[in-house]
């Protein structure tokens, strides 16, 4: 199996090496890159001897970080915080979209790649893809990332002309954790609490939110 995967990997790399970049006419005006780490369970060729009790820092399973990178272009779709909140919470509750929702643009020519070889190799490959996609049609450059400082600093160094944006979904997950701690997962007021505080976060009121949460803690 390992030999088959290795052979397929070489074919995939050769395919993308010869594939031309999308034509500028097929691209949108915002060039977007993303990077995110994902833990991948590793299967050992020789399983470790089971231990009655693990030592400090040891875990039953073994994971290795895969860095997933993405590059695409997208058209600008300005939305208010209220429009984002309405769209996001309607979608997550399985409700039909409101007639007032602003439709989102679709990514153009999205390319996703993942590697277990580390952040530096992943971002070097992403930089190659970015060079192929840049041009006069790119009016804005945006780098989406989660809160991992090591990854954020690497993106800032590797792509200094990109405006770095904290991924909204990652940030909102921390609000869900706090809502569950304060109210519990079955409290009927939980969703309304989330709507209110998500709206505040998207309206530039992050500092007051953090101050309130620290006081609660």
Low-confidence ranges of the chain (pLDDT < 70): 44-61, 91-103
What is the pTM assigned to this prediction?
0.78
In this prediction, residue 162 carries a pLDDT of 97
Give the closest residue to 92 by CA, choosing from 200, 183, 198.
198
């Amino acid at each position: 199996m390992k030999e088959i995967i290795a052979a397929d990997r070489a074919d995939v790399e050769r395919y993308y090496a010869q594939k031309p970049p999308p034509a500028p006419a097929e691209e949108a005006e915002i060039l977007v890159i993303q990077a995110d780490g994902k833990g991948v369970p590793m299967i050992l060729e020789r399983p470790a001897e089971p231990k009655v009790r693990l030592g400090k820092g040891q875990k039953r399973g073994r994971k290795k970080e895969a860095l997933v990178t993405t590059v695409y272009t997208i058209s600008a779709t300005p939305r208010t915080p209220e429009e984002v909140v309405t769209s996001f919470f309607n979608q997550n509750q399985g409700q039909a979209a409101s007639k007032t929702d602003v439709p989102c643009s679709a990514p153009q020519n999205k390319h996703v790649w993942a590697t277990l070889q580390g952040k530096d190799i992943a971002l070097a490959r992403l930089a190659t893809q970015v060079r192929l996609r840049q041009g006069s049609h790119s009016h804005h450059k945006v780098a989406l990332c989660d809160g991992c400082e090591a990854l954020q600093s690497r993106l800032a160094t590797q792509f200094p002309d990109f405006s770095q944006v904290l991924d909204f979904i990652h940030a909102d997950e921390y609000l869900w954790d706090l809502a569950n701690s304060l109210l519990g997962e079955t409290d009927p007021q939980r969703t309304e609490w989330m709507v209110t505080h998500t709206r505040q976060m998207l309206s530039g009121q992050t500092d007051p939110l953090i101050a309130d949460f620290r006081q609660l803690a």
